[in-house]
């Protein structure tokens, strides 16, 4: 899969960034999509597939795109994505309260069967590395179970 930041449109105080997404499968099938990040929402604007996607495949397309697309949005230049940059991030507590909220979000995602690190990335607006650091700090404070049991 490849994700490429295509262009940015600014109007008033709002910014929208478009991404070209390509999925290549081992059997030669290909899916091209155009996704847009507006505020903190990512939407797929267009899809082209060879061979055409079935309705079942189209239904799981969002799952195929979610993690790589979100990672690309976080890595994109901060001037293009104010909603993910430090200044555009919604107010988020620091210190112990931050780690408590990170632990709660992590546990909720685990219970729902979704990626807990991605869930923490979404709510904090931090990169994967920073989110993992916060999760580790929450573990160190005893807010989350240890990663590995000691023998």
Looking at the predicted structure, is the pLDDT value of residue 89 above 80?
A: no
* Res 136: pLDDT: 93
On whether both 62 and 123 belong to a single domain, the answer is no
Residue 132, domain member (yes or no): yes
> How far apart are the C-alpha atoms of 107 and 8, rounded to whole Å?
35
Tracing tokens 């059997």 back to the chain, one arrives at 27
* Res 83: pLDDT: 40
On whether both 23 and 63 belong to a single domain, the answer is yes
Residue 88, domain member (yes or no): no
Residue 134, domain member (yes or no): yes
CA 62, 63, 65, 66 torsion-angle sign: positive
On whether both 69 and 100 belong to a single domain, the answer is no
> How far apart are the C-alpha atoms of 10 and 74, rounded to whole Å?
18
Last residue of a domain, one of 22, 40, 75: 75
Residue 80, domain member (yes or no): no
pTM reported for the whole predicted model: 0.45
On whether both 70 and 106 belong to a single domain, the answer is no
CA angle 63, 71, 103 (to 5 degrees): 85
18, two tokens: 């478009």
On whether both 12 and 67 belong to a single domain, the answer is yes
- Cα–Cα nearest to 17, from 99, 84, 62: 84
Across the range 41-65, mean pLDDT stands at 80
Paired strand residues for 2: 22
On whether both 63 and 6 belong to a single domain, the answer is yes
Paired strand residues for 31: 23, 49
CA distance readout (Å), 138 to 44, 117, 122: 34, 13, 17
- Cα–Cα nearest to 5, from 30, 37, 31, 32: 37
Residue 81, domain member (yes or no): no
Residues spanned by the domain of 20: 2-75
Number of domains in the chain: 2
Residue 46, domain member (yes or no): yes
* Res 40: pLDDT: 67
Question: β-strand 30-38 against 41-50: which pairing, if any?
Answer: antiparallel
129, two tokens: 């590395």
Across the range 86-109, mean pLDDT stands at 76
Residue 71, domain member (yes or no): yes
Residue 106, domain member (yes or no): yes
pLDDT tens digit sequence for 60-85 = 777 777 666 766 666 655 445 334 44
């Amino acid at each position: 899969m490849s994700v490429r930041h295509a262009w940015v449109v600014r109007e008033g105080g709002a910014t929208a960034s478009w991404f070209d997404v390509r999925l290549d499968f081992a059997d030669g099938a290909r899916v091209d999509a155009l996704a847009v990040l507006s505020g903190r929402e990512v939407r797929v604007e267009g899809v082209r597939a060879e061979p055409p996607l079935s309705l079942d495949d189209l239904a799981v397309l969002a799952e195929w795109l979610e993690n790589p697309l979100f990672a690309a949005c976080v890595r994109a230049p901060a001037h293009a994505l104010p909603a993910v940059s430090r200044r555009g991030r919604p107010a988020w507590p620091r210190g112990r309260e931050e780690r408590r909220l990170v632990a709660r979000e992590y546990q909720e995602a685990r219970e729902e069967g979704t990626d807990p690190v991605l869930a923490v990335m979404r709510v904090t607006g931090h990169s994967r590395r920073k989110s993992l650091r916060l999760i580790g700090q929450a573990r160190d404070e005893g807010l989350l179970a240890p990663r590995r049991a000691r023998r």
